[in-house]
Amino acid sequence: MRSITEEFFKNISRLERGEYMDCFLTYMTSPVIMKLKPSMTISVQSSEIKLFREWAEKLDNQDIKHVEIKSGYEKTVVFIYSEETLTFQLESVENKKILGSLGYTSESSLEEKLERLKLRMTMDEFPHEIGVFLGIPARDVVGFIKGEECIHCGYWKVYGNLSEAKKTFGLYDLSKNIVMESILGGKNLDDTLSIMRSFRGKECSLQ
């Protein structure tokens, strides 16, 4: 029996390219759109960056922003984030300590922090502190930096609280399922985004 993921990708593969990109990008970034995750990076083929920008414009009223953080001949690495969720993420004492050790100042605005991250990505494809921006717990970021042996591999390598990490992984999966069920049910992008909005703030009850 075909899984929902297989069915989803089979169905969207038949769409016109712009519609395909709308569905694919919404699926991939659903944890950020639903504010379960502060940000994520995604690589976009240079030939499709225009379609990406058109999709991003449709999310203007969702508090979802993006920075084209590293451009190359074949692809552009895009940092997609919720301004509200990312700001909260970077304010924790543990995360400030990690970022402070790498030259980020606590007085800097979110835009200034992102500019520094963008600069560091020109020197290193994925500098260690990007884990902080992506919502990975500080303990797991430090464990990765120190080269410790992880206790589990999921959306990230876990070194600390496995039960909490698994709850978060489950929520990320749930957000993707919401998108797949909506689109397979014949909903358009606006309706799908509306359904996703209705789940925002319900993380605790979903756990």
**What's the pLDDT score for residue 206?**
41
Torsion on CA atoms 106, 107, 110, 112, rounded to nearest 10: -110
Mean pLDDT of 158-179: 96
Please state, in angstroms and rounded to a whole number, the distance separating the CA atoms of residues 103 and 50. 34
Instruction: Kindly state whether residue 207 falls inside one of the protein's structural domains.
Output: no
Question: Average pLDDT for residues 48-75, to the nearest whole number?
Answer: 88
pLDDT of residue 201: 53
How high is the pLDDT of residue 73? 80
Model confidence over 175-207: pLDDT tens digits? 999 999 999 999 999 999 999 988 765 543 443
- For the whole model, what pTM was predicted? 0.91
What pLDDT, in 10s, does the model give residues 75-120?
A: 999 999 999 999 999 999 999 999 999 889 888 999 999 999 998 8
Number of domains in the chain: 1
| 122 pLDDT above the threshold of 50 | yes
Check the CA dihedral 144-173-37-70 and report its sign. positive
In a domain, 34, yes or no: yes
Structure tokens at 46: 């240079």
Residue 162: CA atoms inside 13 Å, Cβ hemisphere, count?
5
- 25 part of a folded domain: yes
Q: State the pLDDT at residue 34.
A: 94
Distance, in Å, from the CA atom of 102 to the CA atom of 96, rounded to the nearest integer, reads 10
Domain-embedded: residue 205? no
What average pLDDT does the segment 24-47 reach? 95
**CA 205 to chain CA mean position, Å:** 21
Note whether residue 37 is domain-resident.
yes
Residue 160 has pLDDT above 70, yes or no: yes
Q: Tell me whether residue 35 is in a domain.
A: yes
On whether residue 203 sits in a domain, the answer given is no
- Round the average pLDDT of the chain to a whole number and report it: 91
Residue 15 has a CB neighbour count (10 Å cut-off) of: 14
SS3 155: coil
Phi-psi region of 82 (alpha: psi -120 to 50; beta: other; left: phi over 0): beta
Which domain range does residue 153 map to? 4-197
CA distance 53 to 66: 9
Provide the residue type at 94 as one letter: E
